[in-house]
Structure 1
């Protein structure tokens, strides 16, 4: 049974070179095409916001998985998310790489935890089958189970 927990609201004007604002005004910033594509310096872009959200959300999924195992995630553990904008034919798309560094865990333990977090993270669930997501543990690509791709 689906239970709604929270709904975020934001509005945009001016597209990639405009402005975004969340309904509570916590986010209230200018947007720009990425600087490498001719945009201005000092403004964010949708890919950066997506990367920050995915990294944060995936880190929380790792905290949940650790808690289910009666463990505590090392506070120095990190999730680095890279989001790539690409063009394919007339359309555009995104791909992501999550590189997880779980301090204090060996490669196998970390791989297991990352795969389990990928099952429950709302960003992973939402992107599954819709965009390519690569998982890495300490810089090393890991294989995804068939049901976790």
Structure 2
């Protein structure tokens, strides 16, 4: 698998399960996008740009799926997640020589849990998530864990 040498464009997403109807909403030039998955709470993207690029759309769809599956993976491991856990994904499109590639950088934020526990949940979530499965071995994916 090739690594990107030169990033040409990126798309970012931030997904969290919004349990607070008073959460700050998007401002001028952005909108809130609510996504759902069968049998789980809605996921909201707050302050998404109105004309997203393909990288942002891919990041948004992947983060909605992965965030949902992350919760399922935690349940399978019998771990209770804090209500403010979140997943940020940055999708990069770039080049190595003349070839074009995609790459993904995950930042999983789970305050208050041990890093090793979150790493195990994140790994299991990548094994379950249909988006993670579809790109496995095709693009470079890195996962950063934040527990503070």
TM-score normalised to the size of structure 1? 0.60
Q: Deviation of residue 57 (structure 1)?
A: 1.1
1:114 maps to 2:122: yes
CA RMSD of aligned residues (A): 2.1
How far does residue 91 in structure 1 lie from its aligned partner after superposition? 3.8
What residue in structure 2 maps to residue 51 of structure 1? 59
**Paired residue secondary structure (1:81):** strand
Counterpart selection for 1:127 from 117, 129, 135: 135
Q: Corresponding residue for 1:76?
A: 84
Counterpart of 1:80 in 2: which secondary structure? Answer: strand
Count matched residues.
100
Answer 1 or 2: higher relative contact order, Cα 8 Å, separation at least 6: 2
Decide whether the 8 Å contact of 2:77 with 2:121 is kept in 1: no
Larger radius of gyration: 1
1:136 equivalent to 2:144? Answer yes
Give the number of the structure whose residues are more often helix, by fraction.
1
So what's the TM-score if we normalise by structure 2? Answer: 0.61
Q: What is the deviation of 1:79?
A: 0.3
Q: Distance in 1 between matches of 2:50 and 2:61?
A: 19
* Alignment gaps of 5+ in structure 1: 1-25, 27-40, 140-149
- Is structure 2 residue 71 aligned with structure 1 residue 63? yes
- Which digits, 9 at most, give the CA deviation of each residue in 1:64-118, with x for residues without a partner? 1112233332220010000001134444221000110112211111111111111
User: Are the aligned partners of 1:78 and 1:101 in contact in 2 as well (CA < 8 Å)?
Assistant: yes
